[in-house]
A and B are shown apart, each in its own frame.
Chain A
């Protein structure tokens, strides 16, 4: 491959990277080494090219311009947490984590619970528990071979960190609110590291939001490590304003018998690209990935999912559904890879799309790559409209056209939502989706659970 001509943005990133690296010279050497290597890799490839098969339908480069500033320090202004998080989901108790422009926000930067659970700022964890972080940091993300993930490794300074030792469980779900709060246009990088030990269990809720109307680019990444028989539930709500560009890369590594459920609900946000890579490394691991994307206006939502069955007897399902309105575009690329000796694999994939206008677009690429013979794999994809017969059924029972259509759309979306195991959250999401479909949820100014 020819090395791309250095664009002004890459030049700018390089300058900023030097500053950040210098600023982090008190950090361990291995950490800075990872950053340097990642930047070198990124610089070689540049932003995903138009011909890059993995970014075939999402061309990011024109949207990334040098006008974006890179925040080097956490915000210093005082934020009234109570004001932001008037949590109006009844009975939802969460441990709250706030990330502002990619930096952990709060006085107590790292907590260690009596159970041995450590959680808080990644930056702090690197200093206090370097061994824990070093064993995992960057190792899973770099498997993605994605320039945006490499760029994240290079530019990220902070994020959320949690470590659950063996046989532990968090009392309540952890809610991570990732907020863009900026007066100028910003290019934000943030990195979460989630390490869950044997037989441990955690539920995570991630919410992406914007508090100010300025344009921003959010290049976030999460590495999720599930130990033997660990259980992780992971729900992500994306609801930022439509002038943003968001790239989220999540890399999950699963050991024997572990169970990871992930769920993406995308309601608002200009250009969104969600990379999800799951490596099923241990026998009998189970992964359930689902996503719902509802887009209108000029939004562009691209879910890129790769499930790699590296070990026998693993089980994976993917369910992605999209509703596309106006001139929006929905993209789904899902790949199931079954390695040579991953016998007795079961892998299923479904992508369903509804187009509401003749200007909306869908691109779907459900792929199978199979090198083992004793497998059950299937995939299906559909593009269509609201079922006229179902509509007629409802109309014949006195429900008006608009209401009937909404009911059907809501039912279509609910299939994804019902995979969320936190009841109050699911109900809340149901409500949000309902509002979203009615067009009443124009832009969420506040946190996920306070959008009312």
Chain B
């Protein structure tokens, strides 16, 4: 099929759309990490004593840890001495109105299509934009605060909501959790903080945009979301990074606490720079995301569309502690060229009648490796636990790999657990069917991929779904094996 050559060309030639570098002066720290850097970060942010102590504990623990090597990933050794652990856009004064924002930053956000400006209020998105490591501007804050909702940067939360931070920070992902989470605990620069009070339904979708700008900076943001009894919130996170030759490290932590009868939906569209066609550069995306359904009937839903990053290591998880709680994980992971992804979820059933559902769709093309890794664990007292997992892989091209590593651990006889997975490529018969009806091969592939990922994309809020679909097209346009 000569057409397939063209198509492969198309795929490999599609450039990274968000690869531009903002010409903003950043205030950065010296490279490397030691206790002084940790102290400096804490001091710079004017943190109270307990935060510094927590960071130092994490740092001392991290020194004793080794980088995990169990994932199906080839990661070149990371030299933590060459990384700048903290970078702030220079004009880090507080902004009161939009006009005060550095026009360069605004232009960057405009290119990204973030509705940062107030006039875009109609789109109903409140944005907490994290540019490098400091939250630049939080929109819609007032509208939210009327309802008692707290949506601010982590730094502000540390200043203004100490009790909540003290109570919940590290309660889901403790500082000893894993190598990258521990590193994050020691050096995290900023992130978002959300608190939805009892019985409040957040009137709009909350959104954060992460973007790595400065050269050689690691982005270590930390997000904490607390939904109190009966609350509801839908949270969106999007990530991009400009093109850089050297790989950049991104080790984030997201913690979510869902109380009784509350519901949290967390959606991510991740399109960090994946590296070039030869696999040079790109982001290392090592993220720990975990939520706990603390009370009865709590619901937590993770949706992710992963198209970027050179290396992805990410397992958004649910701890289903409350009786009748419900966890969901929807994922589309696309890898192309030399990208590697090892992603999946953990569902830990602790409470009675807990249910979980996993839908994972992997698409690999080029020379990439795409793995699903997941754990479904039913503890002894979790009677009537129910899980259904489906993880499908689609292979486009004969140089890529698709892998599935599910773990099922059942300690309760009343558990009903099902796992199914298939691996296949786009069938010639499917293409033929479309061709026959006048649809070009390239469009047909787009159509089939969209159909394949639909179950997950449907979970996303509308604006995100549109973007996710576009991203899928950009990443894979017309590639057929």
Contact = CB atoms under 8 A, between A and B. Distances in A.
Given A353-B410, A378-B420, A378-B423, A383 B415 contact: yes
Interface stretch (A96-104, A363-371, A397-405): A363-371
Interface in A361-406: 361-385
A367 B408 CA distance: 11
B404 interface: yes
B415 A355 contact: yes
A371 B371 CA distance: 11
A343 interface: yes
B407 A377 contact: no
Interface residues of B, number: 38
A297 interface: no
Contact of B413 (A380, A381, A385): A385
Contact of A343 (B378, B380, B398): B398
Interface size class for chain A? 35 or more
B412 A367 contact: no
Nearest to A365: B407
B340 interface: no
Contacts of A373: 395-398, 400, 425, 481
A377 B423 contact: yes
Nearest to A380: B420
A379 B421 contact: yes
A64 B215 CA distance: 55
B243 to A, nearest CB: 29
A356 interface: yes
A357 interface: yes
B406 interface: yes
Nearest to B365: A373
Interface in B378-415: 378, 380, 383, 393, 395-415
Contact of A340 (B398, B405, B422): B398
A384 B384 CA distance: 10
A358 interface: yes
A53 B72 CA distance: 13
A370 B421 contact: no
A378 B405 CA distance: 12
A202 to B, nearest CB: 34
B145 interface: no
A195 interface: no
Nearest to A368: B404
A374 B427 CA distance: 9
B165 interface: no
Nearest to B378: A383
Contact of B403 (A361, A365, A367, A383): A367
A305 B421 CA distance: 18
Contacts of B403: 367-370
26 contacts: A340-B398, A340-B399, A353-B410, A356-B413, A357-B413, A358-B380, A358-B383, A364-B407, A367-B403, A367-B406, A368-B404, A368-B423, A369-B72, A369-B401, A370-B401, A372-B398, A373-B481, A376-B424, A378-B423, A380-B419, A381-B417, A382-B419, A383-B410, A383-B415, A383-B416, A384-B418
A-B pairs with lowest CB-CB distance, top 7: A373-B395, A355-B413, A368-B404, A383-B417, A377-B423, A383-B410, A381-B419
Given A360-B413, A371-B400, 14 more contacts: A341-B398, A368-B423, A369-B401, A370-B401, A372-B398, A373-B396, A375-B425, A376-B422, A378-B420, A380-B419, A381-B406, A381-B417, A382-B419, A383-B417
